[in-house]
């Protein structure tokens, strides 16, 4: 049917069947809303640059990549490289979106601006098979919603919400009981790794590791961003599908509907509820409101990340502690500051923070998450200050850009801490590096854009350069005697020096990734030295960076360490609820023997309502 303004010849239109009509509209450059299995898609011809650009404009999606659907593997290979494992994954019953290496100039740049990979899936319903056979070329198949809102599911909802985006709609009369997005996966180091767990994977249950109670029922509320929730019952964890960012009111309401649906379907009545330590997270507040008289366990964000990795890898409850490396954008620390680059010695019940990235201010607070220039300024001022920067690098474009900033205001904010919290975020370091290399400056259109652009430009030959060309990171002690941290001053001087020499961004990106990975491995080596720890767990959204992940993983294995990582659950916040649930279950069970972590400085344990939370900042 026709959506939005404009006339259509209904007599001619009705002579075509739905397949021909939909395919013809797409081939003629129109945008069509198609009601599918778990929601509505917006479709257009992926080879038509004008149609792709118009879809971006109408949907309000400036830069985030569009997913593609192709008829078969033969068509996919016309615009992407496809390995044997990637081909099997595309063709499997889960039919996820698989991130594939794009062939140069095969499709319009506007599909995935600034990126070197495309998200591709094959048809997974009879209608999609027929429509892709009719069209014969790749089709943009993105979620049917204005950007940032939940995907439409109903016919009238599609007419109401998508009339300003789609020209036509192809609808059906089967109710969609459970809104669910397409899953996203990537093949790294020979394994299929889930980045967004939804259709095809959720709500398949995950077995609990040995030693965990089969009687207790737990509800974990997940994170604020990339929200999922998790139910534990009968010795299994049921991780919900990807829900989205709870800051959006419609997404928050959708999370409540999904939780009610799962509770009914799985006959779940939780004995205790797990939440993030951050008291202002909407998921935390919702969990406390649901709890009533039931106990609530508040789990530190990065401890939950590592616990999720341990649980997926079925590490027993009473196994020895591991070194967890949790790298992401931000998480509420047990000291009330913002963490994001953490080295934790931990098991399921407790953790000790034994290393971190250098604490740097976030001028503007939440604005620093969206605007990479803020992180570049904060890092450079924290590393060398304006005098050294101006003396040595005044010929650079980044110096001229920073000269135009309201420096006095920024410096005052950082000095006083006014709306400039200190953070050890690894994600913000990537933002700063991308901004300095000229790849992202003003504003990110989606989470992780700057870091993804930095990885996408990596020069493959530069990855083979001598080790001494990788950017140098040091590992001093905080205050000269405290916890070790990763210090990027040497890396910044080397990067800016390369910019002076006119070094291409791809070489800069390669040297940054190699240097940072080497520092992470050196830190791990230092922290496990003279201990019995032989296992390292990697988690957090930064490890979705395939280059950094591979370098760190191989470096740790070269040290003889066992490396645990995510595959069936996301390393990002989409897997956090599993970690919360497993920590809550662990602390609710009696401990067989005292844990070695009790004697370590900085040891923390997950908190119940009787214990005070650190103040919000």
pLDDT in tens, 533-581: 999 999 999 999 999 999 999 999 999 999 999 999 999 999 999 999 9
Residue 98's domain comprises 10-187
How many Cα atoms sit within 13 Å of 587 on the Cβ side?
Answer: 25
Q: Is residue 466 part of a domain?
A: no
Name the DSSP class of 422: E
Q: Write the pLDDT tens digit of every residue in 586-608.
A: 999 988 765 555 334 345 665 54
Q: Is residue 574 part of a domain?
A: yes
Average pLDDT of the residues in 312-323: 98
Q: Is residue 560 part of a domain?
A: no
Tell me which of 187, 205, 237 is where a domain ends: 187
Verify that 292 and 148 share a domain, yes or no: no
Q: What is the CATH number of the domain that holds 280?
A: 3.30.420.360
Average pLDDT of the residues in 39-57: 98
Range with lowest mean pLDDT among 39-43, 465-469, 587-591: 587-591
Verify that 230 and 315 share a domain, yes or no: yes
Per-residue model confidence (pLDDT) at position 601 = 39
> Is residue 275's pLDDT more than 90?
yes
Verify that 146 and 80 share a domain, yes or no: yes
Tell me which of 152, 187, 222 is where a domain ends: 187
Dist. CA 147–CA 66, nearest whole Å: 12
Q: Is residue 144 part of a domain?
A: yes
Is residue 433 within 8 A of residue 510, CB to CB? The reply is no
Verify that 124 and 217 share a domain, yes or no: no
Percent of the chain at pLDDT > 70 equals 94
β-sheet bridge partners, residue 344: 324, 353
Per-residue model confidence (pLDDT) at position 147 = 86
Long-range contacts of 251-255 (CB under 8 A, 24+ apart): 251/149, 251/150, 251/227, 252/282, 254/150, 254/179, 255/227, 255/229, 255/283, 255/286
What is the DSSP track for 167-219?
Answer: SEEE--S---SS--PBPEEEEETTEEEEEE--BTTTT-EEEPPTT--SS--EE
pTM over 0.85: yes
> Is residue 14's pLDDT more than 60?
no
Verify that 15 and 142 share a domain, yes or no: yes
Dist. CA 233–CA 213, nearest whole Å: 9
Tell me the average pLDDT of the chain. 94
Per-residue model confidence (pLDDT) at position 609 = 35
Per-residue model confidence (pLDDT) at position 600 = 40
Strands 184-188 and 117-121: unpaired
Verify that 57 and 83 share a domain, yes or no: yes
> Is residue 613's pLDDT more than 60?
no
Percent of the chain at pLDDT > 90 equals 90
Name the DSSP class of 597: G
> Is residue 177's pLDDT more than 80?
yes
Angle, CA 194 vertex, CA 188 and CA 196 arms, to 5°: 135
Verify that 143 and 208 share a domain, yes or no: no
Per-residue model confidence (pLDDT) at position 481 = 75
Per-residue model confidence (pLDDT) at position 428 = 98
Q: Is residue 428 part of a domain?
A: no
Per-residue model confidence (pLDDT) at position 605 = 60
> Is residue 404's pLDDT more than 60?
yes
Verify that 39 and 182 share a domain, yes or no: yes
The angle that helices 489-500 and 505-528 make with each other, rounded to 10 degrees, is 160
> Is residue 11's pLDDT more than 80?
no
Verify that 222 and 295 share a domain, yes or no: yes
- Tokens in use for 234? 């009968």
Verify that 239 and 279 share a domain, yes or no: yes
4 against 62, higher pLDDT: 62
How many helices and strands in the chain, by DSSP H and E? 21, 24
For residue 17, name the pLDDT band (cuts at 50, 70, 90): confident
Q: Is residue 497 part of a domain?
A: no
Q: Write the pLDDT tens digit of every residue in 153-169.
A: 999 999 999 999 999 99
If residue 607 lies in a helix (H) or strand (E), which one and from where to where? Answer: none
Q: Is residue 164 part of a domain?
A: yes
Verify that 19 and 162 share a domain, yes or no: yes
Q: Answer whether the bond into residue 203 is a cis peptide, omega within 30°.
A: yes
Exposed e or buried b for every residue in 245-273, given b needs 16+ CB within 10 A? bbeeeebbebbeebbeebbeebebebbbb
Instruction: Name the residue with tokens 């390995």.
Output: 83
Q: Is residue 547 part of a domain?
A: no
Please report, for residues 271, 322, 410, 577, 584, the alpha-carbon distance to residue 588 in angstroms, rounded to integers and kept in the order given: 10, 21, 46, 17, 6
For residue 470, name the pLDDT band (cuts at 50, 70, 90): very high
Average pLDDT of the residues in 431-439: 98
Q: What is the CATH number of the domain that holds 155?
A: 3.90.870.10
Average pLDDT of the residues in 53-67: 96
Verify that 119 and 202 share a domain, yes or no: no
> Is residue 617's pLDDT more than 60?
no
Three-class HEC string of 328-386: EEEEECCCCCEEEEEEEEECCCEEEEEEEECCEECCCCCHHHHCHHHHHHHHHHHHCHH
Is residue 334 within 8 A of residue 277, CB to CB? The reply is yes
The total of structural domains in the chain comes to 2
> Is residue 499's pLDDT more than 50?
yes
Tell me which of 144, 163, 187 is where a domain ends: 187
């Amino acid at each position: 049917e026709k959506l939005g303004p404009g006339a259509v010849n209904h007599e001619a239109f009705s002579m075509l069947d739905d397949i021909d009509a939909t395919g013809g509209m797409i081939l003629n450059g129109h945008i069509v809303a198609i009601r599918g299995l778990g929601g509505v898609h917006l479709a257009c011809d992926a080879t038509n640059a004008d149609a792709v650009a118009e879809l971006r404009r109408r949907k309000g999606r400036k830069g985030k990549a569009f997913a593609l659907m192709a008829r078969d593997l033969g068509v996919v290979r016309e615009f992407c490289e496809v390995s044997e494992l990637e081909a099997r994954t595309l063709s499997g019953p889960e039919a996820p979106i698989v991130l594939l290496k794009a062939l140069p100039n095969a499709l319009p740049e506007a599909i995935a601006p600034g990126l070197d990979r495309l998200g591709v899936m094959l048809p997974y319903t009879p209608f999609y098979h027929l429509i892709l056979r009719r069209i014969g070329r790749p089709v943009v198949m993105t979620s049917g919603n204005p950007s940032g809102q939940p995907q439409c599911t109903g016919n009238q909802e599609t007419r109401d919400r998508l009339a300003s985006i789609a020209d036509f709609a192809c609808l059906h009369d089967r109710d969609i009981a459970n809104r669910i997005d397409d899953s996203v996966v990537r093949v790294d180091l020979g394994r299929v790794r889930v980045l967004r767990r939804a259709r095809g994977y959720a709500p398949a249950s995950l077995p609990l590791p040995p030693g965990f109670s089969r009687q207790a029922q737990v509800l974990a509320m997940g994170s604020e961003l990339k929200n999922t929730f998790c139910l534990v019952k009968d010795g299994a964890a049921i991780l919900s599908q990807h829900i989205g960012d709870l800051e959006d009111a419609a997404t928050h309401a959708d999370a409540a509907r999904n939780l009610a649906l799962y509770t009914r379907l799985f006959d779940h009545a939780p004995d205790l509820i797990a939440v993030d330590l951050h008291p202002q997270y909407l998921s935390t507040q919702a969990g406390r409101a649901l709890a009533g008289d039931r106990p609530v366990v508040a789990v530190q964000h990065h401890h939950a990340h590592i616990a999720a990795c341990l649980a997926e890898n079925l590490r027993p409850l009473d196994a020895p502690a591991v070194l967890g490396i949790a790298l992401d954008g931000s998480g509420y620390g047990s000291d009330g500051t913002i963490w994001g680059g953490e080295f934790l010695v931990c098991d399921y019940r407790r953790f000790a923070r034994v290393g971190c990235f250098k604490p740097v201010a976030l001028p503007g607070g939440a604005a620093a998450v969206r605007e990479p220039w803020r992180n570049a300024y904060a890092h450079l001022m924290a590393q060398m200050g304006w005098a050294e920067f101006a003396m040595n690098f005044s010929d650079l474009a980044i110096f001229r850009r920073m000269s135009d900033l309201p420096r006095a205001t920024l410096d005052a904010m950082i000095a006083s801490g006014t709306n400039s919290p200190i953070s050890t975020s690894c994600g913000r370091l990537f933002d700063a590096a991308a901004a300095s290399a000229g790849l992202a400056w003003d504003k990110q259109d989606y989470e992780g854009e700057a870091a993804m652009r930095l990885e996408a430009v990596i020069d493959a030959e530069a990855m083979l350069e001598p080790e001494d060309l990788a950017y140098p990171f040091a590992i001093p002690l905080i205050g000269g005697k405290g916890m070790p941290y990763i210090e990027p001053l040497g890396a910044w001087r080397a990067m800016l020096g390369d910019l002076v020499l006119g070094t291409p961004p791809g070489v800069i990106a390669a040297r940054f990734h190699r240097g940072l990975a080497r520092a992470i491995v050196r830190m791990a080596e230092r922290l496990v030295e003279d201990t019995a720890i032989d296992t390292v767990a990697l988690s957090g959204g930064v490890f979705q960076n395939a280059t950094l992940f591979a370098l760190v993983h191989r470096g740790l294995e070269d040290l003889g360490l066992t490396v645990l990582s995510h595959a069936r659950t996301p390393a990002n916040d989409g897997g956090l609820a599993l970690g919360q649930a497993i920590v809550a279950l662990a602390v609710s069970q009696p401990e067989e023997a005292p844990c070695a972590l009790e004697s370590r400085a900085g040891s923390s344990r997950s908190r119940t309502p009787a214990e005070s939370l650190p103040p919000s900042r």
